[in-house]
Amino acid sequence: MICNLCPRKCGALRDETHGEGFCGMPALPVCARAALHFWEEPCLSGSTGAGTVFFSGCTLGCVFCQNHSISRENFGKIMAEDELYTAFQRLADQGAACIELVTPTQFAHVLAKVLERPVPNGLPVVWNSGGYERVGVLRAFEGKVDVYLPDLKYVTPSIAVRYSGAEDYPEAAKAAILEMYRQRGPVRMEDGMLKSGVLIRHLILPGQVAEAKRVMDWVAETFPPGAVRFSLMAQYTPVGELADFPELQRPLRASELRAAKAYMENLRLSGYVQELNSSGEGFIPAFDLTGL
């Protein structure tokens, strides 16, 4: 295949076992872990855990990536459509609250086919991405994805290009989130669990509370009250490729989280605020091919 799945549209050649594009991935999905995951928002993990499949590779390559061992390194198991569907079934059999696809964008062409099959146990499908999506690609998932879980990392192009090498990230992510909302509409909850809708995440970076506020402003101005959920994340851990980014070589301060939380409350955004003690390398999953 000649790949133009993400906004980079690099036109790279990808075959079943090799890829030359920005993400470095072959045409078939590469997975690093498929297991119950209890660290997502309560409306997704519930008491039994989200059935989470972590895909290798990434279309962004953020310098601070917590999952850099799979996003930028050649690690994981290549899986055909049938194998991937079998992994979904195993997670459902283990009592998963949903089937969650983490960093799936570079394998959208395969996942669209897999999701044409009945989802095991009728579980909601969660699309957990960095938000760097093409609207035309997302349209292939209308009626197949129940919950969209995008990041909105930045709304300022200069920050996006510095930390993710993608000046067009704000434009692309906003358009993607609007398409996600068009598909699913206002959130629908049942017994405290998110069954349908959009939950927007934002990770506060050290020294970037002002950007967090700009992100929240956009969400509050764009969607009716309560129509989407917002997750303010404090789990930043100084790992990744930070030698040239001294401002990111420290944890988030409690004062930064307090300021962002107060701003979110003032805007009356519905959602979640992550505790500061949720950071640290101990919260990074073990990417050891579990469940594959």
Nearby residues of 255 by Cβ (< 8 Å), 6 or more positions away: none
Please report whether residue 22 resides in a domain: no
What would the mean pLDDT of 60-72 be, rounded to a whole number? 89
Q: What is the pLDDT of residue 240?
A: 79
Q: What is the mean pLDDT of residues 227-252?
A: 94
Residues 20/67, Cβ–Cβ less than 8 Å: no
Predicted TM-score (pTM) of this structure: 0.96
Q: Which of the four pLDDT bands, split at 50, 70 and 90, describes residue 74?
A: confident
Look at 55 and 289; give whichever has higher pLDDT: 55
Domain membership flag for residue 168: yes
Q: Is residue 11 part of a domain?
A: no
Contact 98, 123 (CB under 8 A): yes
Q: Identify the domain containing residue 219 by its residue range.
A: 31-283
CATH number of the domain at 244, please: 3.20.20.70
pLDDT at 282 (0 to 100): 60
Residue 20 covered by a domain = no
Looking at the structure of the chain, the number of domains it has is 1
pLDDT digits (tens, 9 = 90+) for 169-215: 999 999 999 999 999 999 999 999 999 999 999 999 999 999 999 99
Domain membership flag for residue 292: no
Is 104 among the domain residues? yes
In the chain, % of residues over pLDDT 70:
98
The neighbour count for residue 186, using CB atoms within 10 Å, is 13
Cβ atoms of 181 and 147 closer than 8 Å? no
Q: In this predicted model, what pLDDT tens digit does every residue of 240-285 receive, in sequence order?
A: 789 999 999 999 999 999 999 999 999 999 999 999 887 656 667 8
The predicted model gives 128-146 an average pLDDT of 98
Classify residue 230: in a domain, yes or no.
yes
Q: Is 145 among the domain residues?
A: yes
| Three-class SS of 240-259 | CCCCCCHHHCCCCCHHHHHH
What region, left, alpha or beta, does residue 272 occupy, with left being phi > 0 and alpha being psi -120 to 50 degrees? beta
Mean pLDDT of the chain: 95
The beta-carbon contacts of 135-143 under 8 Å, at least 24 apart in sequence, are: 135/175, 135/176, 135/179, 137/5, 137/6, 137/105, 137/108, 138/176, 138/179, 138/180, 138/183, 139/179, 140/108, 140/112, 141/108, 141/111, 141/112, 141/115, 141/183, 142/183, 143/183
82: which residues sit within 8 A by CB, 6+ positions away?
A: none
pLDDT given at position 50: 98
What is the model's pLDDT at position 283? Answer: 63
